[in-house]
Structure 1
Amino acid sequence: MNLTESDSNHNDLENLSINEILQGINREDQSVAMAVKKALPQITSLLENLVPKMQLGGRLFYIGAGTSGRLGILDASECPPTFGVAPDKIIGIIAGGDTAIRKAVEFAEDNTEQAWKDLMNYDINEKDFVIGIAASGRTPYVIGGMGKAREHNISTACITCNPGSEMVNSADFPIEVAVGPEFITGSTRMKSGTAQKMVLNMISTTAMIQLGHIKGNKMVDMQLSNDKLVDRGTKMIMSELNISYEAAKRLLLKHGSVRKAISVEK
């Protein structure tokens, strides 16, 4: 049974009021966090194997199509500014290339060979780790890429909302989040997309903490790419060194990062 394609629990949506639609979507969304909770042992197993690879210099690749691919790119792109890691530490790849981030590329997800070609552009090797993302668990682009990765002794995982799917067979560490039928039948950008985003948040955040990019609960390695982040960094230094805002800002701008400012001046 393909759970992500199963019929919605709601019907006659076009006859509902705005409030009724919103109430229905919200009721469905409330089940997502509990579905993710049930998958925590699988997420734990993945991270226990991913983190040591990344500590030894391995990279994390996300591969996906459509919404799933975009979510992987989103998670990967937010790690450099948040945690100060190099842009090539976590890499998101989408079927159809960068064009597909904004616009659907017809039949891109049906190519079983392209994902491996895309991964080879980054000289992927045994130190790295590949996570395939597909709500249905049957996207040819993703399954093909994961299969090729395993053939080359590269560890694989998957995030799917369809338990027992084909993709699970290509994953060393499968994560299955059974969110059930979507509010609109088959619209996996909804509950399935929310579940995938939650799992991706867990994976990247936990990995970055384990790799030492957080001190206490603060983003001490974040990039100072706008005034808001400079202000946040200044306040971190104020608190840590017990100095004035002005003095903290001078130190931040001098050293270029919260971590350096604190470690040098403490």
Structure 2
Amino acid sequence: MKQTKPTTEKASRYDHLEKMSTFELLININKEDKTVPEIIEGEIPAITALVNVIVKQIEEGGRLFYIGAGTSGRLGVLDASECPPTFGVSDDIIIGLIAGGDIALRKAVENAEDNVSRAWEDLKAFDINEKDVVVGIAASGTTPYVIGGIKDATENGLLTGCITNNKNSPLAKAAQFPIEVEVGPEFVTGSTRMKSGTAQKLVLNMISTSVMIKLGRVKGNKMVDMQLSNKKLVDRGVKMIMEECGVKEEEASAILSKHKNVRAAIKALGKD
């Protein structure tokens, strides 16, 4: 039986790219990128199911782990690393792991993604347990590191999800909560850092942001638990307090300086 080529590996709809003008290249890349959000819309029910499971597990003391290789791994680490400063959670609630370790964030690590048992070893270093959720990210849906990690996690009683860009992939079949965002052939054939990566980033934004909101880390539409790690964020915090509590800048600045947290400052002013 002839095996169907994954859509992420199919030939681009465009050819002779080197003959295109800069303007033509940009127009055509953008044309392809614009299709991604519409395709993601069709997966919102699947994303909803995964978000609800993650919220439940974290409320019971669990954590969310992303595992991936290459671009997919980097995007998982990025999403995890942005949650503490944005939502004020500790850095051990959402954890991103990449095949080959942190060095692979900057440089490709040869054969790292081909080790089927390595992901579980990486996860065990965090004392992973049945309260945790593991989400595998792989454009192809065939990455051994990710599939192995998801299978091992499932066999050990953990809930598992995935984000992939091919339908009916081995990864999607291994995960309990699969998200399959099939964006079609890439502008440069096989370059999944493009539409596939964009789709993964958008889905990760949806997952982590929704989880944090459901866990009470946003008030109204404001990041009241954000870390005040630079002047820009302090100024943003002051403006939040002014808007929420109807006080002048001087008072807002003073109370934020005292409490070091927007939520705590709002509460101190009796507006929580």
| TM-score, reference length from structure 2 | 0.97
Identical amino acids, percent of aligned pairs: 62
What whole-Å deviation, never above 9, does each CA across 1:162-194 have from its counterpart, x for those lacking one?
111010121000000010000000000000000
Cα shift at 1:70: 0.2
- Whole-Å separation in 1 of the counterparts to 2:76 and 2:89: 16
One-letter amino acid of the counterpart of residue 214, structure 1: V
| TM-score, reference length from structure 1 | 0.99
Answering whether residue 137 of structure 2 is matched by residue 137 of structure 1, we say no
Cα shift at 1:94: 0.1
- Whole-Å separation in 2 of the counterparts to 1:257 and 1:27: 42
Tell me the number of residue pairs that the alignment of Structure 1 and Structure 2 aligns.
Answer: 266
Task: Give the 3-state SS of the residue equivalent to 1:93 in structure 2.
Answer: strand
- Whole-Å separation in 1 of the counterparts to 2:18 and 2:240: 50
Answering whether residue 45 of structure 2 is matched by residue 41 of structure 1, we say yes
- Whole-Å separation in 2 of the counterparts to 1:228 and 1:83: 16
- Whole-Å separation in 2 of the counterparts to 1:129 and 1:11: 42
Cα shift at 1:241: 1.6
Task: Give the 3-state SS of the residue equivalent to 2:142 in structure 1.
Answer: coil
Answering whether residue 133 of structure 2 is matched by residue 103 of structure 1, we say no
* Partner residue of 1:17 out of 1, 6, 21: 21
* Partner residue of 1:181 out of 185, 203, 208: 185
In structure 1, the partner of 2:249 is: 245
Moved over 4 A (4+): none
In structure 2, the partner of 1:156 is: 160
In structure 2, the partner of 1:207 is: 211
Answering whether residue 120 of structure 2 is matched by residue 116 of structure 1, we say yes
Ranges in structure 2 where 5+ consecutive residues have no aligned partner: none
Cα shift at 1:84: 0.1
Cα shift at 1:264: 1.9
Cα shift at 1:265: 2.0
Task: Give the 3-state SS of the residue equivalent to 1:62 in structure 2.
Answer: strand
- Whole-Å separation in 1 of the counterparts to 2:11 and 2:109: 26
- Whole-Å separation in 1 of the counterparts to 2:37 and 2:102: 30
In structure 2, the partner of 1:5 is: 9
What whole-Å deviation, never above 9, does each CA across 1:105-154 have from its counterpart, x for those lacking one?
01100000110000001000000000000000000000000110001100
In structure 2, the partner of 1:89 is: 93
- Whole-Å separation in 1 of the counterparts to 2:10 and 2:125: 37
Task: Give the 3-state SS of the residue equivalent to 2:179 in structure 1.
Answer: strand
